[in-house]
Chain A
Amino acid sequence: MNSAATRTGAQILWESLLEEGVRTVFGYPGGAILPAYDALLDYPIRHVLVRHEQGATHMADGFARATGEVGVAVATSGPGATNMVTGIATAMLDSSPILCVTGQVGSRLIGTDAFQETDVTGVTLPITKHNYLVTEVEDIAPALHEAMYVARSGRPGPVLVDITKDAQQASTDGRWDRADVDLPGYRPHPDPPAAELRRAARLVNEARRPVILAGHGILISGAMAAVRDLAERGQIPVAMTLLGIGSLPADHPLNMGMMGMHGESWVNRAIQEADLLLAFGMRFDDRVTGRLATYAPKARKVHIDIDPAEFNKNVRVDVALAGDLDAVLARLGPLVAARDRSPWLGRIAGFRGENAVRDIQHLPDSGRLYAAHVIHDIWRITEGRAIVTTDVGQHQMWEAQYYRHNAPRSLITSGGLGTMGFALPAGIGAKVARPDDEVWVIAGDGGFQMTMCELATIAQERLKLNIAIINNGYLGMVRQWQEFFYDRRYAGTPLLSPDFAALARAFGLGGEVVTRRDQVDDAVQRARADERTVVLEFQVEQEDTVYPMVPTGARLQDMIRRPKPEAAPVGAK
């Protein structure tokens, strides 16, 4: 846009974001960003006032993961910007496109240890996909357009634009050039050579025991249909990473469930027995592979990823196809022959065998509450249609196991960084992005307390979410590791919590405590029916454990299983 009128940098900031389609930002003001805030009132952009800048970044992240669009967070210099660090690192590890706009002290003060001066581009350099320090008004628009492009293209990620206060205040006659973004060093969309595609297709067609590893890249690329077509034509079973959940409906007969540390045992066995792994937009995280030297020893590997730096990083692959997954599958798909692989599918059904009796059914039906029950019930009542954000810990794994997601972008969770405190602000971001969808925040008693100040944001913005706190009185996942690997010495993990229901009411929200299984249904229904956000505190078994589990560094097939109920009563205190 070439506008003739004179604009301040602050105005250019908002106009550039509007041009990029931004309608909502999550932010918190302060001195160095004040000129931008002053100008904000004149633009049709919704500003969600957060209670902590970390919350703003997680909200932007939740917004981005719910929609695929760039989420925007705004903060002031110094402490405002450093509070964003955790959220930026979270988005970086999970390839989530967010834009952080921070105010910086006046350009003449840079380097003088001025009040609230922090070298924010320096601090965030290793945890952003790219960042910018803008000191001149004319550079604001180009930097923002570039930043939005970099954030969402290729392998998405967080981008930060730090704008000095004087650049926000200065004016230009407005004929700033909205040239197309020209980044000669940035090649976000590689395309694999045809010969490699043919090699990959040959491996698929020759394989008798193939498995698709479905990752987050499927959702990012929007390759859900292409993956389903390929799986169905080749009758290839599909295993999900934590972040890939939702890329193929949980109900699909070829969807085996989650792989890895807390994945299903039959999925891990299938991977260990496979003769071909098709890794689609996943990065072989160590929670996925277990011990590398013994990972899928019989399998050839085909890896499709948009980021060639992921190839051969953890796992050596036989064919690496660099490109956008949907585009690559559009070329690969026609080369893959229809096959009947019922012997292999039958074998996997055999692995399931007795394990198919899900862990939840080994729990004593004593009327006491287990987290798995709670999540299973929420799934049943919401018919698997909610957007669920989770925090980090045991409840996160139970959610992945017991909430069966059929829709893409319906599970939003911090996988790579495992950031406690993520669920509530991410849920807010998701609700703002998709107001017509039902959003459930599922958090532990520990993680919820890290960002619970954002209940005030919910109240102020009059948002309707549903919040389930799985209160087990412990930093449960850490307690579980202490149980297994530290002789049950529970150092620093027992946790005293406030009365969450009363707390919610103090914020003007609804709150309820649930202690027995037979109360879950009604409480969940009441929460959904309430026009306010309701916090449900589920007081669950304190010393329950997530099974199965591959201990770090163990072989994938060596999972710790839940002891049979008669042998060791679960949750006995």
Chain B
Amino acid sequence: MNDGSTGGASATIAARAYAVWVEDRPGVLNRVTSLFRRRGFNIESLSVGRARAPGVSRMTIVVLCDANTSRRLVEQLSRLVNVLRCDELTGTPSIRHELAMFKVSAAPEERTQVIQLATATGARIVDVALESVVVEATASPGRIDGLAEVLRPYGILEQVRTGLVSMARSAASVMTEPAPRQLPRRVTSAAEPDDGTGSV
């Protein structure tokens, strides 16, 4: 029996990550983000790139929501015709990384310090200029926050973060990647030009 409403005791809001495989077609990203906007789900971060199978993209989406919203979100996403598969990663042991770059103000006298700090935390120096260096790190969002914290006193001039990308650990589950569709075979021939009559 229940109180008849959504929510309830399980309504703890948390950052939840989803792996979403989509067909790589024009407008698909728009369909996904449009759904989030329309249903009032708040995207924390979204990253997208090619999956293993050709014609398939893989997104990692992080959303702040409770468990019931999360369930609805997965159902709503799965409903999109171009979404091949959607898994919540929150409960699954998985690697969660983000790539970040910080352009840090580093006058010659501070430079060594900055470089040492960065490398001690596992970050890399990918560019050095007269007054600044660029520090790059791949780590969990929490560790990147930590890196930003130690760099801040020197002055962060610019930063960019990709948002989370995530993959379940091998032991947890081997995610069989969804296969793309077989596109209907096309037989091409030269298209005739527009007749130029325009519109009425």
Chain A interface residues (CB < 8 Å from chain B): 6, 30-32, 34-35, 76-78, 105-106, 108, 115-116, 121-122, 125-126, 129-130, 133, 136-139, 141-142, 150, 165-167, 169-173, 175-179, 182-187, 292-300, 307-309, 311-316, 318
Query: Given contacts A130-B81, A166-B193, are A309 and B188 in contact (CB under 8 A)?
Result: no
Complex contact A185–B185 (CB within 8 A): no
Complex contact A138–B188 (CB within 8 A): yes
Complex contact B200–A316 (CB within 8 A): no
Complex contact A179–B199 (CB within 8 A): no
Complex contact B187–A293 (CB within 8 A): no
Chain A residue at minimum C-beta to C-beta distance from B79: A309
Chain B residue at minimum C-beta to C-beta distance from A310: B75
Q: Chain A CB within 10 Å — which of B23, B34, B191, B197 has the most?
A: B191
Query: Given contacts A125-B30, A297-B4, are A179 and B72 in contact (CB under 8 A)?
Result: no
Q: Chain B CB within 10 Å — which of A105, A115, A186 has the most?
A: A186
- Which A residues are CB-close (under 8 A) to B184? 141-142, 176-179
A-B complex: 8 closest residue pairs judged by Cβ atoms: A31-B199, A170-B191, A309-B75, A185-B84, A138-B186, A179-B184, A316-B2, A177-B185
- Which B residues are CB-close (under 8 A) to A30? 199-200
Please report which residues of chain B, range 26-72, place their CB below 8 angstroms from some CB of chain A when the two chains form the complex.
26-27, 30-31, 34-35, 38, 68, 71-72
Chain B at the A interface: SS class: loop
- Which A residues are CB-close (under 8 A) to B182? 179, 182
**Residue B153 is within 8 A (CB to CB) of chain A in the complex:** no
- Which B residues are CB-close (under 8 A) to A78? 199
Query: Given contacts A31-B199, A173-B187, A183-B81, are A312 and B6 in contact (CB under 8 A)?
Result: yes
**Residue B82 is within 8 A (CB to CB) of chain A in the complex:** yes
CA distance A133 to B27 in the complex (A): 10
Complex contact B200–A176 (CB within 8 A): no
Complex contact A171–B81 (CB within 8 A): no
Least Cβ–Cβ distance between B57 and chain A, in angstroms? 12
Chain A at the B interface: SS class: loop
CA distance A170 to B190 in the complex (A): 8
- Which A residues are CB-close (under 8 A) to B188? 138, 172
Complex contact B199–A316 (CB within 8 A): no
Least Cβ–Cβ distance between B18 and chain A, in angstroms? 15
- Which B residues are CB-close (under 8 A) to A308? 75, 78
Chain B residue at minimum C-beta to C-beta distance from A6: B189
Complex contact B187–A150 (CB within 8 A): no
Chain B interface residues (CB < 8 Å from chain A): 1-6, 8, 22-23, 26-27, 30-31, 34-35, 38, 68, 71-72, 75-76, 78-85, 178-182, 184-189, 191-195, 197-200
CA distance A182 to B188 in the complex (A): 21
Chain B residue at minimum C-beta to C-beta distance from A182: B181
- Which A residues are CB-close (under 8 A) to B35? 126
Chain A residue at minimum C-beta to C-beta distance from B27: A121
CA distance A315 to B3 in the complex (A): 9
- A307's partner among B2, B79, B191 (CB-CB below 8 A) is B79
Least Cβ–Cβ distance between A341 and chain B, in angstroms? 20
> Can you list 22 A-B pairs, Cβ within 8 angstroms, ordered by A?
A30-B200, A108-B194, A121-B27, A125-B27, A125-B30, A125-B34, A133-B26, A166-B193, A170-B191, A177-B185, A179-B184, A182-B181, A183-B81, A183-B181, A185-B81, A293-B4, A296-B4, A297-B3, A297-B4, A313-B6, A313-B72, A315-B4
Least Cβ–Cβ distance between A400 and chain B, in angstroms? 25
CA distance A51 to B35 in the complex (A): 33
CA distance A179 to B4 in the complex (A): 47
- B192's partner among A108, A171, A176, A294 (CB-CB below 8 A) is A171
Least Cβ–Cβ distance between B71 and chain A, in angstroms? 7
Query: Given contacts A31-B197, A77-B199, A293-B5, are A187 and B185 in contact (CB under 8 A)?
Result: no
Query: Given contacts A105-B199, A295-B4, A297-B4, are A126 and B38 in contact (CB under 8 A)?
Result: yes
- Which A residues are CB-close (under 8 A) to B78? 187, 308-309
Chain B residue at minimum C-beta to C-beta distance from A32: B199
Complex contact A106–B194 (CB within 8 A): yes
Chain A residue at minimum C-beta to C-beta distance from B182: A182
Complex contact B30–A122 (CB within 8 A): yes
Chain A residue at minimum C-beta to C-beta distance from B30: A125
Least Cβ–Cβ distance between B123 and chain A, in angstroms? 38
Complex contact B187–A177 (CB within 8 A): yes
Chain B residue at minimum C-beta to C-beta distance from A172: B189
Least Cβ–Cβ distance between B118 and chain A, in angstroms? 42
- Which B residues are CB-close (under 8 A) to A307? 75, 79
CA distance A166 to B200 in the complex (A): 16
- A115's partner among B187, B195, B198 (CB-CB below 8 A) is B198
Complex contact B23–A185 (CB within 8 A): yes
Complex contact A316–B30 (CB within 8 A): no
CA distance A129 to B76 in the complex (A): 12
CA distance A136 to B190 in the complex (A): 11
Least Cβ–Cβ distance between A331 and chain B, in angstroms? 22
- Which A residues are CB-close (under 8 A) to B81? 129-130, 150, 183, 185-186
- B8's partner among A105, A129, A314, A316 (CB-CB below 8 A) is A316
Query: Given contacts A309-B76, A312-B71, are A169 and B192 in contact (CB under 8 A)?
Result: yes
Least Cβ–Cβ distance between A160 and chain B, in angstroms? 13
Least Cβ–Cβ distance between B10 and chain A, in angstroms? 10
Contacts beyond the supplied A141-B184, A166-B191, A315-B5: 6 A-B pairs with Cβ under 8 Å? A115-B199, A126-B38, A169-B192, A176-B187, A183-B181, A296-B4
CA distance A311 to B6 in the complex (A): 10
Complex contact B31–A125 (CB within 8 A): yes
Complex contact B5–A292 (CB within 8 A): yes
Complex contact A170–B8 (CB within 8 A): no
- Which A residues are CB-close (under 8 A) to B193? 166
Query: Given contacts A31-B200, A126-B38, A138-B186, are A184 and B4 in contact (CB under 8 A)?
Result: no
- A165's partner among B83, B181, B194 (CB-CB below 8 A) is B194
Chain B residue at minimum C-beta to C-beta distance from A137: B191
- Which B residues are CB-close (under 8 A) to A185? 22-23, 80-85, 178, 181
- Which B residues are CB-close (under 8 A) to A183? 81, 181
CA distance A530 to B10 in the complex (A): 63
- A184's partner among B2, B30, B84, B191 (CB-CB below 8 A) is B84
CA distance A165 to B22 in the complex (A): 29
CA distance A108 to B196 in the complex (A): 12
CA distance A566 to B49 in the complex (A): 73
Chain A residue at minimum C-beta to C-beta distance from B195: A169
